[in-house]
Homo-oligomer: A and B are copies of this chain.
Amino acid sequence: MSNQDQPKPVTFSTKDSAAVDETDQFCPKFDSKGLIPAIAIDAETKEPLMLAWMNEQSLKQTLQIGEAVYYSRSRQEIWHKGATSGHTQKILEIRTDCDQDALILYVDQQGAGACHTGRRSCFYRSVTPGDPSALAFWGKRTFDPAKVYSSE
């Protein structure tokens, strides 16, 4: 969390679906599990870094502290990305799509990378044309995850 003792409350709008694609009201649509996908993209290089999920609470925290806060589906808890590793993601811009059920986060990735495998981006493998069963690696490790992550 930031040093703000009392973060400003965040509220979202609710709109009927017919108007959601042209409204100027932010009314994020969470799925049946209360989640919305958020794709973090490096604001400078435009490299996609990761896709993770937010619930209402983590999205509000993201807006309050200016850093990406996700919801970990595996751990079933709020996940302030980088809280233990230092690899936080400073939010420069958030965009939502036409039906407001997906988010793009343009971020300033802190530290050596976003991926728990030790790479800058989680998207380090490509499907091989002509042989869709095989993947080609293109991303190399930029840090040693064993040294960086204690509990993240």
Residues in chain B near residue A102, CB distance under 8 A: 37, 51, 122
Copies of the polypeptide in the assembly: 2
Most buried by B among A25, A117, A132, A136: A132
A96 contacts chain B at the CB level, 8 A cutoff: yes
Residues on B with C-beta less than 8 A from A117 are 21-22, 98
A126: shortest Cβ distance to chain B, in Å? 5
Contact in complex: B123, A12 (CB < 8 Å): no
Complex Cα–Cα for A50 and B119 (A): 25
Contact status B97-A50, CB under 8 Å: yes
* Beta-carbon contact of B63 and A127 below 8 Å: yes
Closest 6 CB pairs of A and B: A46-B46, A97-B122, A51-B102, A95-B123, A94-B127, A63-B132
**Can you name 13 A-B pairs with beta carbons within 8 Å?**
A10-B133, A12-B132, A12-B133, A25-B133, A26-B134, A39-B39, A46-B47, A48-B48, A51-B97, A63-B127, A96-B135, A102-B122, A104-B123
